[in-house]
Amino acid sequence: MSRAVHTVTIPENCMVRNDWVCPEYVRSRSGDIIEALQQHVWITVMAVLAGFLVSLALALAARRWRNISTFITSTSTVLYTVPSLAMFGLLFPVTGLTSTTVIVGLVLYSLTILVRGIVTGLDGVPRDVREAAIGMGYGPFRLLRQVELPLALPTIIAAVRVTTVSTIAMTTLGVIVGHGGLGELILRGLRSNFRAEVLTSSVLVVVLALVADLLLVTVQRLSTPWRHRVVT
């Protein structure tokens, strides 16, 4: 007497075939993707914001005391050359395996671009404009806030744009300490040879960089309307 043989058929889909482009992966793993994307955005925003505030303070100090200007710019350049693995390794004993390690590392990397950008922007303010404001009774703080920073804004935002795009890319390196945002998915996909996970996460990093850059361009245009007026 023969026995019936039952076979289990696995539905053929892009995940089974291990395709590079796989909508089913996005649908079924949307929770993981959104969580990684949110972490990526949060780390980037915190790093760029903190880096800008630190860089602004350093840039103002460099302009106020010219004798330390070279030291500040040289130190920020040296920090940028430190490999990420070594940087996170140096921070680990202090900050541990937390997102703070990634944020602090990214802040240190951002200094070389932001400090130079802010100093260049402020130094580019015309001397006669500065002297006219002082003649009208503007003090140092009011001069900085109402005259120098607005005129230096295009150069400063350009530096912020470069820093933001660079930070979005470098955030993926946070996977070293377990807080790499989309980098976590990229590494997991590489280890398991899961093509859809690698490609989807990589594309999202690029899209995130493009969206951030577009937003900063929009901010620049809205904050400096005088640069885009058409003279008739």
CATH fit for domain 31-221, picks 1.10.3720.10, 1.10.490.10, 3.40.1010.10, 2.160.10.10: 1.10.3720.10
Q: Residue 41: pLDDT above 70?
A: yes
- 3-state SS of 10-47? CCCCHHHHCCCCCHHHHHHCHHHHHHHHHHHHHHHHHH
**End-to-end CA, the chain:** 97
- At residue 116, the pLDDT reads 92
The number of angstroms, rounded, from the C-alpha of 213 to the middle of its chain's C-alpha atoms is 10
User: Domain ranges in the chain?
Assistant: 31-221
* Global pTM exceeds 0.95: no
The number of angstroms, rounded, from the C-alpha of 174 to the middle of its chain's C-alpha atoms is 12
What are 153-176's pLDDT values in tens digits? 999 999 999 999 999 999 998 898
* Torsional sign, CA 115, 119, 120, 122: positive
**Looking at residues 65-92, what average pLDDT do you find?**
85
- Residue (of 50, 44, 32) closest to 169 by Cα position: 44
- At residue 93, the pLDDT reads 83
- Identify whether the C-beta of residue 108 lies closer than 8 Å to the C-beta of residue 173: no
Higher pLDDT, 206 or 92: 206
**Looking at residues 132-144, what average pLDDT do you find?**
86
Distances in whole angstroms, Cα of residue 194 to Cα of each of 15, 187, 200? 8, 10, 10
**Looking at residues 140-156, what average pLDDT do you find?**
88
Distances in whole angstroms, Cα of residue 74 to Cα of each of 69, 116, 135, 142, 216? 9, 10, 35, 29, 27
What are 50-75's pLDDT values in tens digits? 999 999 999 999 888 878 888 888 88
Provide the total of helices (H) and of strands (E) in the chain, helices listed first: 11, 0
- Residue (of 116, 198, 206, 133) closest to 165 by Cα position: 206
- Distance between CA atoms of 132 and 161, rounded to whole angstroms? 31
- Distance between CA atoms of 232 and 111, rounded to whole angstroms? 41
- Identify whether the C-beta of residue 148 lies closer than 8 Å to the C-beta of residue 123: no
Both tokens of 143, joined, read 């001069």
Contacts of 61 (CB under 8 A, 6+ apart): 68, 72
- At residue 3, the pLDDT reads 56
231: pLDDT confidence band, cut at 50, 70 and 90? very low
Q: What is the DSSP string of 49-83?
A: HHHHHHHHHHHHHHHH-GGGHHHHHHHHHHHHHS-
Average pLDDT over the chain, rounded to an integer: 87
- At residue 232, the pLDDT reads 43
**Looking at residues 125-147, what average pLDDT do you find?**
86
- At residue 114, the pLDDT reads 95
Distances in whole angstroms, Cα of residue 5 to Cα of each of 8, 9, 10? 10, 13, 16
- Distance between CA atoms of 24 and 16, rounded to whole angstroms? 10
**Looking at residues 119-148, what average pLDDT do you find?**
87
What are 2-36's pLDDT values in tens digits? 455 555 455 568 888 888 888 888 898 889 999 99
**Looking at residues 103-122, what average pLDDT do you find?**
93
